Amino acid sequence: MSAYDDDNIFAKIMRGEIPCVKVYEDDKVFAFMDIMPRSDGHTLVIPKAKARNLLDISPDDLADLMTAVQKIAKAAMAGMGADGITLQQFSEAAGGQEVFHIHFHVVPRWSDVRMRPPASAMADVEDLKKHAEKINTAL
């Protein structure tokens, strides 16, 4: 497995070098809207710790990350008025990973509404801001 790359796009987002629509941040984690959401409110939750994916993150950092994932999932349920949550995590290219800083996808779901296909469309930033505010308000 390759080493962690400090220039991956999510590291740049956390350093403020690339813009994002932020949902939540504390000393351990950062959460922001996926730019090509598979449903309204699709949020990415990442650790501040440097890890490529599930295979190299330390257990302590993973525990902190999962605590944040649950917090965002609950806020997404309440804030977005969702019926359920789909959680996704891809490790290594063969596992479907495209950005090599570990992230969990928190995807709000509604009964009988299918997820949009991966990378189907870039979201309108104003929509992302509205969804982020709804989730943030429910935290």
Binder of ligand 5GP out of 4, 9, 70, 92 (CB under 6 A) = 9
Going from the C-alpha of 104 to that of each of 17, 25, 101, 112, 126, the distances in angstroms are: 21, 15, 10, 23, 23
Size of the site for ligand 5GP (CB under 6 A): 15
Based on the residue annotation, tell me whether 42 is a catalytic residue of this protein. Answer: no
Contacts of 90 (CB under 8 A, 6+ apart): 53, 96, 97, 98
Instruction: Pick the binder of ligand 5GP from 96, 120, 130, 133 (CB under 6 A).
Output: 96
Q: How far apart are CA 30 and CA 22, in angstroms?
A: 8
The single residue among 70, 91, 97, 136 that binds ligand 5GP, judged by CB under 6 A, is 97
Kindly tell me which of 115 and 138 has the beta carbon lying closer to ligand 5GP. Answer: 115
Of these residues, 101, 103, 105, 131, which one is catalytic? 103
Question: Which residues are near ligand 5GP by CB under 6 A?
Answer: 9, 18, 20, 32-36, 90, 96-99, 103, 119
List active site positions.
Answer: 103
